[in-house]
Amino acid sequence: MVAELSGLQQIITALTGLDGLPAVIVECAVTTIYTSLGGFKVSFITDNIQGAMVVGLIILGVISVGAETHIDRSLIKESGFLNSSLLGWQLIYILPVAILTNDFFISGFWMRTFASRTDKDLWIGVTIASVAVCIILTLVGISGLLAAWSGAWPLGDADNGYLAFFLLLAQLPAWVVGVILVMTVSLSTAAFDSLQSAIISTGSNDLFRNKLSLWIIRLLVVILIVPVVVVALKSPDILQIFLISDLVSASVIPCLVIGLSDKFYWWRGFDFVVGGLGGIFSVFLFGLVYFKGDTTSAGNLILLENGLYANDWSAFGAFVAAPIGGLLWGFGACGLRLATLYILSRVKGHRFDALDRPIPHTRYVEPYEDPDSERVLEQTDEAKKKGKFF
């Protein structure tokens, strides 16, 4: 949410030169009102609008840039973007790990998965989205090269690299900038309402187990938005915000997905928690080694203070240490837990059952919502209990 609002504010400033704070406040107010009235279903509707806006933005951008942007060929060689670079090779690993684990980390993706009617619908939706996103990211990524080679984004200004696409569009005629601005705000609104809905659902179901009124949860989210806006306005670099969340997800998600497999039925919450925290701690340990005992630099590496443009191996090492370290800590915690339980079982004279495969308790019931459908399998209360922590 911080990244979304920070991006909107900086894009409005880049395209118009105006203060983006009013637009941020209006977006927060509007999305809060209609998500409170319509819930997550409204987010699905706005996502369709978002998809149409993305397509419109790309088509308009491609045509306008193709007609209006003039490339200074001398800048092509000067930029060095077509040459091999250390960062380029590192990103072949960093980006897939960061994006994949972060998608697992975001509640909105899980909610859309659970909302799919069938596995076939989910596969169709994911396939269409993957193709569309691949095309869109390719076009948007190329715009960074065009922005640099046309002079819209000055070479050496790495701090504003994430705004290269909009710096390029800002050079277009005023009416094109106006249309793009409307599309951008619509895109941001559609994304922000999904984040709000995800937080409401997560807070209601996961934190309070649906025992607290939904309106109270929504009020808490409204209160939460206030510090989000403050932090967003003070955030100088959107990329760093995403990188921090990417590093956290890279630490946590590998240990999480192990628990999704029936083959790892002996995996427990304790192993996941230790593994997730251990992944983050592993980044600090790597920083201590890489920066030769400098604890400050090692601590800053967790927040990726130098971003991706440090021209060294620090960011790459962090994204290697996070998932691998998390898995090592997780399996270490699992071994320690099993050893402890085994010793306790021998001391107390109980049978060691920590590696026993759980037996599902099920029964067949007649569905009450659709009397014409076939009999369905329903879990009993015993099978629905929470998984063990130890």
Mean pLDDT to the nearest integer, 358-372? 53
Query: What is the pLDDT, as a whole number, of residue 194?
Result: 84
Structure tokens at 346: 């021998």
pLDDT band at 378 (very low <50, low <70, confident <90, very high): very low
Rounded Cα gap, residues 259 and 288, in angstroms: 31
Query: What is the pLDDT, as a whole number, of residue 182?
Result: 85
In one letter, which amino acid is 164?
A
Torsion 260-264-270-273 (CA) sign: negative
Query: What is the pLDDT, as a whole number, of residue 360?
Result: 66
The answer to whether 296 touches 288, Cβ cutoff 8 Å, is no
Structure tokens at 108: 């909105």
144: domain range?
Answer: 1-69+116-236
385 has a pLDDT exceeding 80: no
Measured between alpha carbons, how far is residue 141 from residues 134, 168, 211 in Å?
Answer: 10, 12, 46
Could you read off the pLDDT of 233-272 as tens digits, one per residue? 887 677 888 888 999 999 999 999 999 898 999 999 999 9
Neighbours of 308 (CB within 10 A): 21
Rounded Cα gap, residues 163 and 161, in angstroms: 5
- Name the burial class of residue 47, with classes exposed (0-12), middle (13-18) and buried (19+) by CB atoms within 10 angstroms of its CB: middle
Query: What is the pLDDT, as a whole number, of residue 109?
Result: 80
Of 39-43, 123-127, 226-230, 371-375, which gets the smallest average pLDDT?
371-375
Could you read off the pLDDT of 51-94 as tens digits, one per residue? 787 788 778 888 888 888 889 999 998 888 899 989 899 999 99
> Considering its fold, how many domains does the chain have in total?
1
Query: What is the pLDDT, as a whole number, of residue 361?
Result: 55
Query: What is the pLDDT, as a whole number, of residue 380?
Result: 43
| Mean pLDDT of the chain, nearest integer | 85
Nearest one of 231, 298, 304, 338 to 6, comparing CA atoms: 231
| 325 falls within a domain | no
The answer to whether 168 touches 146, Cβ cutoff 8 Å, is yes
Helix or strand holding residue 65 (H, E): helix 40-68
Nearest one of 37, 20, 33, 40 to 225, comparing CA atoms: 33
Bridge partner residues of 357 (DSSP) = none
| 269 falls within a domain | no
Which pTM was predicted? 0.78
| 98 falls within a domain | no
Query: What is the pLDDT, as a whole number, of residue 248?
Result: 95
368 has a pLDDT exceeding 50: no
| 178 falls within a domain | yes
| 264 falls within a domain | no
| 334 falls within a domain | no
| 206 falls within a domain | yes
| 45 falls within a domain | yes
Mean pLDDT to the nearest integer, 89-104? 92
Rounded Cα gap, residues 186 and 195, in angstroms: 15
Structure tokens at 2: 């911080």
The answer to whether 197 touches 39, Cβ cutoff 8 Å, is yes
Give the single-character DSSP code of 204.
I
Helix or strand holding residue 349 (H, E): none
Structure tokens at 370: 């659709």
Query: What is the pLDDT, as a whole number, of residue 382?
Result: 43
